[in-house]
Amino acid sequence: VISRGQKGLAERYRPALFSELVGQEKLAQGIRDRWKSSKRPTALMLSGGTGTGKTTISRILSVAVNCSHQKEFGEPCLDCRNNRSQFDIMEVNASDITGIDGVRILASAHRYAPMPPAKMRVYIIDECQGLSKAAQNMLLKPVEDGPPTTLWIFCTTSPQGIIKTLRGRCVQFAIPSLRFKDSERLVRRVIESERKSGRAKAVEDKKLAKFLEQLNEHQVFEPRLILNSLEKFLGTGDPDCVTGVSQDETALLGKYITEGDWAGLRARCKEMELDQLQGVRMGVVSYLRTLLLNERDGPIAAKLCESIKQLAGVYAPEDGMMGGLIVAALFDSCRRFSK
């Protein structure tokens, strides 16, 4: 339980350096290599699911490109990190930019050199699949013609929602979910640090093992979601508190869909939070994929194919609308099979 005004674990342990990213060393190296090359990118696209760290990585990058005191790229100094506001960093959520005019206003300064001590003008656009096609088109020119002192960072949960031409102008990085051993490393590191600072007691090995097993069982592999679960675990001492969606659960939901059983599906999804619905979406897609690969060409295969495409293609301008769209796609899929 977090008391008012106190930051949650995910916020307190948000990495500020590339070297603090757990389980994403390869990605960090990939970005570093791009900055070592003679042709540094002026537009990046970071794609990954909820809680994988798109915003975190954008923030580290935005300071790193401005800090002149780093031994290695991606390790901005404390002073620059603490004084991020002295740089020309603009961070916006796509849902805050309304239409073409919004993009025009946003991009109006992209040609100007940043004000010292800033070295780079940085635009971070979160959930950029939420921009209309017209707005995305409007960004093509600024992104392509910008000076080398302007950096665009586009973050998205659904790269398929971004027009191809814009994607093509960005260096693209997909942010992976953590592997099990990295989740474990992250959890152990945070517990140890919480214990040292007196905020948490030591955790019994048996309970910790159970908690880690639960993360795995519920397919919770994103840093932010892991830390949210850990926070509940440390607060309640109950290793069963992990919320997510187990493989058994997704198989059951998949079965409801192929049986056209909306009543069953509805009852299970009613109590779910967004994180869980995201998990349902991914789990059900992979369940249907397995069915499709075992199905001969015919009407059933066609229904499976449509449902996979529909569920995989769900994207919303903001997180708040995502849950509704997932439920709507589940309903459609269910109905397809009930006919």
Which residues bind to Zn ion, rule: CB under 5 A? 67, 69, 77, 80
Structure token pair of residue 50: 């909820």
Check: CB of residue 45 under 8 Å from CB of residue 154: yes
Rounded Cα distance between 123 and 87, Å, is 11
Q: Which is nearer to Zn ion, 59 or 281 (CB)?
A: 59
Q: Which is nearer to Zn ion, 76 or 254 (CB)?
A: 76
Minimum Å gap between C-beta 116 and Zn ion is 13
DSSP per residue over 97-157, as a string? Answer: S-HHHHHHHHHTTTTSPPPTT---EEEEEETGGGS-HHHHHHHHHHHHH--TTEEEEEEES
Q: Which is nearer to Zn ion, 80 or 178 (CB)?
A: 80
Minimum Å gap between C-beta 66 and Zn ion is 8
What count of other Cβ atoms lies within 10 Å of the Cβ of residue 240? 10
Minimum Å gap between C-beta 76 and Zn ion is 6
Minimum Å gap between C-beta 222 and Zn ion is 29
Cis peptide bond prior to 117, omega within 30° of 0: yes
**How many Cα atoms are found within 13 Å in the side-chain-facing hemisphere of 191?**
23
Minimum Å gap between C-beta 118 and Zn ion is 11
Q: With DSSP H G I counted as helix, E B as strand and the rest as coil, what are the percentages for the chain, rounded to 5?
A: 60, 10, 35
Q: Which is nearer to Zn ion, 73 or 233 (CB)?
A: 73
Rounded Cα distance between 325 and 305, Å, is 18
What count of other Cβ atoms lies within 10 Å of the Cβ of residue 12? 15
Minimum Å gap between C-beta 16 and Zn ion is 12
Minimum Å gap between C-beta 72 and Zn ion is 13
Amino acid occupying residue 315: Y
**How many Cα atoms are found within 13 Å in the side-chain-facing hemisphere of 79?**
6
Q: Which is nearer to Zn ion, 67 or 312 (CB)?
A: 67
Minimum Å gap between C-beta 61 and Zn ion is 14
Q: Which is nearer to Zn ion, 16 or 113 (CB)?
A: 16
Q: Which is nearer to Zn ion, 65 or 143 (CB)?
A: 65
As a whole number of Å, the end-to-end CA separation of the chain is: 47
Q: Which is nearer to Zn ion, 19 or 160 (CB)?
A: 19
